[in-house]
Structure formats: structure tokens, C-alpha cells
Structure 1
């Protein structure tokens, strides 16, 4: 059973950007927006393995994120949890799925040669409020 209340799970299925917060190497917070997917168990987002966010999560899997409802910016969900895995996405299947959800395009257009993408799996542990 998910710790995310059903009425807030709906936000995760919309084109809501999530702001992901991680802890940097000196304990400083680092936050950035990502496209998200929710499968009922894990919150997922795509990341390249060279980004600071990914390195932060390898060192410390604790994560917090928030996403506001694109139809009502005063409604949001905050999730605190842990990264429990990072699955390789060598064919870009997941990032292409997210591109379709967020841009309507079939293929993610901002990839760079040599990018190594993973799908980060977040297990929600607590939803404040």
C-alpha cells in the first residue's frame, strides 16, 4: 500500500514537473526539476550518470521531491523517500516515454552523444501533510 494519499497520486500522472532535492558532497541541498512517472509503487525519473544529482544519490540515497498540480498550482504533493535502484535505459525507452508525456514528441530530442541514461526508482517513505 502506498504512503501517497490517493487524492494526491493523481498529480503524479499529470504533466507535473517534480523538483528533486538531493544532498551534495558537503551536505548542501541540490534541487532541480525532472519529468516523472508513477507506477503505483515507485516514482521514476530519467537521469544521465554524469549529472551531480546522480552522483549525490549514489553517495546518499535519501531524496525529497515535490510536484504541484499543473491544473491548480496551490495543490501539490511532497514525497520523501529513498532511491532503491537505477535501471539502465540504453535504448532510451523510458526517456522517450517521458518525452511523449511532457512534449507530445515520440523521441527525446535533447540527448547528447555518449549519454548514459538510467531510470531512477524512488520508494516513497513519507508524505507530509
Structure 2
């Protein structure tokens, strides 16, 4: 089983922005910056979005995705994951986006809750391939 290396899990505790790449219906790539989280117990990357967003629609159509991120403290240290969206769920999505808002914004509740057109949804991504880079490895 492919997992996130222990020495890179700190990226999920910082204000690390990731880029989620999905495929559009015509097969061309779609890449957007996202807040990112990791469920180590289940070995799943977690991305939160609103139901009906382009990334949610793309993941429903083609489950294969890629996620890349660089350490906000050292842009030469990175983590790239190719994986598969194994679940799209509303269960726990509001609580999850509130936890992310606390990390990324320093607020207790995501400020746009209720302003959006759809429900919150969480993409649970199983890593199939992990690539890392660290300038300290040289």
C-alpha cells in the first residue's frame, strides 16, 4: 500500500496549499489550488469543496487525480500524489471545512457556509503513487 511518508506529514499541519488536478469532460487537465488534509488512519488525502463544483464533477466522471504541494517554509521540498477518488461524501464535510478554516484562516467556522449554492462535499483520495523531494536529500 502506498502511503504518505511520515517525514512529509507535517505538510498537512501547515498552511500548505495543494494543487488538485482532475480531467475535464473533453480529457484536458483542470488544476486548482485547494486546502488539503490527510487522514493517516485511513491513508486518504482529503479535499473539501461545494457540491456541483467543477472539481467535484470531474472527480465523479474520472476518479483519477493528482495532487502536488510545496512546503510553505521551503519551496524546494515537495510532495506529489497520484491517486483515485474513492469516495465523495457530504458526511462530516462541514466539520472538515471548519477544521481547515481554523488552520488556513484562523477562524472557528468557514465564513462562506450558507452562502454557497450546494452542500459541502469531501473528496477522499487513495494514494497510488507518491513522489517526494527534499533539498536535504542531496
TM-score by length of 2: 0.86
Q: Indicate conservation of the 8 Å contact 2:2/2:129, yes or no.
A: no
**Equivalent residue number for residue 47 of structure 1:** 49
Query: How well do the aligned residues superpose, as a CA RMSD in angstroms?
Result: 1.7
**Equivalent residue number for residue 59 of structure 1:** 61
Runs (4+) off by over 6 Å: none
2:73 aligns with one of 68, 71, 74 = 71
The answer to which of 111-120 and 95-104 deviates more is 111-120
Number of aligned residues:
129
Q: Indicate conservation of the 8 Å contact 1:13/1:38, yes or no.
A: no
Q: For structure 1, list consecutive stretches of 5 or more residues without a partner in the other structure.
A: none
Question: Following the alignment from structure 2 to structure 1, what is the Cα–Cα distance between the partners of residues 26 and 117?
Answer: 29
Q: Indicate conservation of the 8 Å contact 1:90/1:116, yes or no.
A: no
Q: For structure 2, list consecutive stretches of 5 or more residues without a partner in the other structure.
A: 133-138
Q: Note the C-alpha offset of 1:3.
A: 2.8
TM-score by length of 1: 0.91
Q: Secondary structure at the match of 1:128?
A: strand
